[in-house]
Amino acid sequence: MFKFLLIFIFGFFLTINTAQAESIQAFDTLVSLNTDGSLNISESILYDYGIFPRHGIYRYLPLSYSYQGHQYQLSFDKIAVPDYPFSINTDNDKLSLQIGDPEQFLTGTHVYNLNYQAQGAVAYYPNHDQIYLQLTGYGWPVEINSFSANFALPRALAADQITAACYAGAINSTSTCDQLILTTNEAGLVTGLSIRQAYIPAGSGLRLFVEIPKDLLESASNTKLFLTAFILLIIIMTILWKQTLGKKQTIA
């Protein structure tokens, strides 16, 4: 009888402990690649606090990482978190979003919708360009029970013009994601990617690599050349205006 009582007590507390565990029930992301190389990103995070009261969550966005010998330097703007107050801080090599009301405690499940634009996730090479993006970040202290992402290209491509890979697990893991498929239009051209992952352990995440043809994005060198030419034009116009003004003053 005592043995059965111990089993019952152990099972009872195990059940309570499981019910109390925090987790992300669903993490869904939409990523749109713009022709200037920026990314418009929308995230929907279904967070379960269980019965433990919390003020909110932290979302960490990486500011720097390297892949295949290229050092990526990212920046983020147009950050919005509808329905929740948030603050932004820089924490070493990442941007920290503290989301939630410090005067209010939450329990149960809550949905956090994040919108922002990312710059710097594209590496420009002579014959191609590549996007490398940490889709979830690696700062989550809880497990993610379901993840999905849809990645949209600025225009449709032939299937042989795009190469993509998705890795799940630790930050240097080479384990591929559960699902990575090319999405196509009625003409059979690739319009983007669809990614699915059933489970991500705490501290782990997803990384996306996409290689695209050179003519899809505005060339970084062309953009710099345009800006340089524009600045030189402003300088020349300013000099000519000053010279004209000086001549008018001399005549007077």
Tens of pLDDT, residue by residue over 96-131, are 999 999 999 999 999 999 999 999 999 999 999 999
Q: What is the pTM of this model?
A: 0.80
φ, ψ (nearest 5 deg) of residue 136: -110, -20
Domain assignments of the chain as residue spans, ordered by start: 21-218, 219-252
Q: How confident is the model at residue 229, as a pLDDT?
A: 44
| Whether 214 contacts 128, CB under 8 Å | yes
What sign for the dihedral angle of Cα 3, 10, 203, 169? positive
Q: What is 21-218's CATH number, 2.60.40.10, 2.60.40.1730, 3.40.50.300, 3.30.70.3270? A: 2.60.40.1730
Element of type H or E holding 92: none
Mean pLDDT, 10 residues at a time, the chain of 252 residues: 42 44 96 98 97 94 92 96 95 92 94 98 96 94 97 97 96 95 97 98 96 87 45 63 59 52
